[in-house]
Chains A and B, each alone.
Chain A
Amino acid sequence: MMLFSTPPYVLGQGSVRRVMLQVLIGLLPGIAAYIWLLGASIVLQLLMATVAALAGEALMLWLRGKPQGLFLSDGSAVVTAWLIALAFPPLAPWWLIVGGTLFAIVVAKHLYGGLGQNPFNPAMTAFAVCIVSFPALMSQWPALGLKLNLAEQLRLIAGLIPRVDVMSGATPLDALKTALKLGEGAVDVPTLLATQEVFGNFAGRGWEWVSVGYLVGGLWLWQKKIIGWQAPLGFLGSLFMLAAALWVWSPQQFANPLFHLFSGGTMLGAFFIVTDPVSGSTTSRGKLIFGFAAGVLAYLIRVFGGYPDGIAFAVLLMNLCVPLIDMYTQPPIFGMKNER
């Protein structure tokens, strides 16, 4: 945000709108898996988040005296909205997603200067704000065995029927952490992964395929050159290495690296969050460092911290470091020797 990379500039084709549209297309495989596994309630969440984001965007553009059409149609607000909807629990009450999205757009994006100026990733800011403020609601994920018809899901989101704890379960990451804590050393990870309902073939039951969907969409974005390889590889690489090291050291206490790669928000974070061109680092080496450190932090927070997943906090903490990273990773000016 504060430092720009040095010339020569190579211009990619297409505008902000085109890039954002392709990011949205990249999210579709993950969304498809999500709908297939957990029902259509996510579509309603996506819709509500989109409407809230566009309304918030329009309001702030009007207050700031900016052209409405140009910024409303660039799609950046919709990308933020979709990321929020995918990161939040699918049966969360409507006001949670609407409030979170409005916070992301109004506070995290526009109060810092709008598109291109925000130091923090808006979607992750919304997630952090909501998980700090409403920890119970943000940790209620529907159990996969639970079959609710669409009408019941909609009534739950609208808050018309009371929330019952039976309907919801923890995320696979949370379940693992809680079981280990309650077991006091009497349980070990391989047994838990093999026996508990919530775990599937290689990660959380069902969720693993949503993660595969994000991976497919992310690889497509990389192949289309919308995102670089540095940030995702740094993120997944450091998470994998840290998980592998601890797993080799003590497989009884720590889940295997594959589980961590396909659990929680890892894949969504790797390809759609740490690749954010605004709040992330701008230089190539900086992106690698940014992703690497975010992966380390995400693993530490999710395994040793009190929150179900650590991606949001890791990304926000690394966003704070971006000016520093950018300063130390400036490439030499074209034609000049590197002075350092």
Chain B
Amino acid sequence: MISREEFRQIGANGVWHQNTSLVQILGLCPLLAVTTNLVNGVMLSLATIIVMAIANVAVASLRNLIPHEIRIPVFILIVAALVTVVDLLFNAQLHELYLVLGIFIPLIVTNCIVLARVEAFANKNPPLHAAFDGVCMGIGMLWTLALLGGLRELIGGGTLLAGIEMVFPALQPLQLLPADYPGFLLALLPPGAFILLGCLIAWKNWVEARAAARRPSSPPLALGDGV
């Protein structure tokens, strides 16, 4: 079983200390391409969470059967099978969103976040731990992409939750800034994503530096599994 301390540590690592986007800086390609608004970022993250959780469980369950020398192709096969399922699900259930996210759903296969977690964590830990790690890493990616997508959308066009009607037909996007807001196109372009991601990383480092300065005597936090 999973102990309380392990539970806490895996969660904290996934969501904050080893955040995929802000610390590991993995998966930048989908990050740049789909976070033009909040809904896209969240939905791609949800798809990644599903893939990561199941892939982690599958690899952790099979970890003693997979020959070490060919583990990477086996991981990729497992991930690819799962991504195909998610891809077909999105295509069937959320077709409009599927058209928006496009190539980035199939590309989850090659997403280094998924492979990194499978290789670095699921391959060495029992299934329950691995499942929780996949979900927490995904949540870390989810809130970062949601924040980045929301900021880019707000600065770029003055709206929030654009495209929500593709997921929940009853809901409408929010127009937060006045309708004559001219829109700051740069925020929607890749340079804007880089600049805002840089600001988010700086913010995270600042928060940690301040926390460390407040508690100078406490031991450094264990950073866990060493990706």
Which residues does chain B contribute within 8 Å of A111, judged by CB atoms? 198
Min distance, Cβ A202 to any Cβ of chain B, angstroms: 36
- For B194-208 the 0/1 string (1 means CB < 8 A from A) is 010010000000000
Q: Say yes or no: B195 contacts A134, CB within 8 Å.
A: no
Which residues does chain A contribute within 8 Å of B185, judged by CB atoms? 132-134
A-B contact count (CB 8 A): 13
Which residues does chain B contribute within 8 Å of A137, judged by CB atoms? 182
Q: Say yes or no: B189 contacts A132, CB within 8 Å.
A: yes
Q: Say yes or no: B184 contacts A133, CB within 8 Å.
A: yes
Q: Which of A128-145 contact B (CB under 8 A)?
A: 129, 132-134, 137
In the complex, A335→B184 CA distance in Å?
A: 54
Say whether A107 faces chain B, with CB atoms less than 8 Å apart. yes
Q: Which of B183, B185, B189, B198 has the most CB of A within 10 A?
A: B185
Q: Which residue of A lies closest to B182 (CB)?
A: A134
In the complex, A76→B42 CA distance in Å?
A: 43
In the complex, A260→B36 CA distance in Å?
A: 39
Q: Which of A66-124 contact B (CB under 8 A)?
A: 107, 111
Which residues does chain A contribute within 8 Å of B189, judged by CB atoms? 132
In the complex, A132→B185 CA distance in Å?
A: 7
Q: Say yes or no: A133 contacts B195, CB within 8 Å.
A: no
Q: Say yes or no: A132 contacts B195, CB within 8 Å.
A: no
Which residues does chain A contribute within 8 Å of B74, judged by CB atoms? none
In the complex, A208→B182 CA distance in Å?
A: 32
Chain B: interface size category: under 10
A-B contact pairs, 13 of them (CB 8 A): A107-B195, A111-B198, A129-B186, A132-B185, A132-B186, A132-B189, A133-B183, A133-B184, A133-B185, A133-B186, A134-B182, A134-B185, A137-B182
**Inter-chain pairs besides A134-B182, A134-B185, A137-B182, 8 sampled, C-beta below 8 Å:** A107-B195, A111-B198, A129-B186, A132-B189, A133-B183, A133-B184, A133-B185, A133-B186
Min distance, Cβ B208 to any Cβ of chain A, angstroms: 18
Q: How many residues of A contact B (CB 8 A)?
A: 7
- For B175-217 the 0/1 string (1 means CB < 8 A from A) is 0000000111110010000010010000000000000000000
- For B146-183 the 0/1 string (1 means CB < 8 A from A) is 00000000000000000000000000000000000011
Interface on A for B, CB 8 Å cutoff?
A: 107, 111, 129, 132-134, 137
Min distance, Cβ A122 to any Cβ of chain B, angstroms: 14
Q: Which residue of B lies closest to A130 (CB)?
A: B186
Q: Which of A111, A133, A134 has the most CB of B within 10 A?
A: A133
Closest 7 CB pairs of A and B: A133-B185, A133-B186, A133-B184, A129-B186, A132-B186, A132-B185, A134-B182
Min distance, Cβ A27 to any Cβ of chain B, angstroms: 27
Q: Which of B31-58 contact A (CB under 8 A)?
A: none
Q: Which of B183, B186, B189 has the most CB of A within 10 A?
A: B186
Q: Which residue of B lies closest to A134 (CB)?
A: B182
Q: Which residue of B lies closest to A103 (CB)?
A: B186
In the complex, A111→B207 CA distance in Å?
A: 17
Q: Which residue of A lies closest to B188 (CB)?
A: A133
Q: Which of B99-141 contact A (CB under 8 A)?
A: none
In the complex, A129→B189 CA distance in Å?
A: 11
Q: Which residue of B lies closest to A159 (CB)?
A: B180
In the complex, A137→B189 CA distance in Å?
A: 18
Which residues does chain B contribute within 8 Å of A132, judged by CB atoms? 185-186, 189
Which residues does chain A contribute within 8 Å of B182, judged by CB atoms? 134, 137
In the complex, A101→B195 CA distance in Å?
A: 17
In the complex, A132→B156 CA distance in Å?
A: 12
In the complex, A225→B189 CA distance in Å?
A: 41
In the complex, A137→B182 CA distance in Å?
A: 10
Which residues does chain A contribute within 8 Å of B184, judged by CB atoms? 133
In the complex, A242→B185 CA distance in Å?
A: 33
In the complex, A133→B192 CA distance in Å?
A: 11
Which residues does chain B contribute within 8 Å of A134, judged by CB atoms? 182, 185
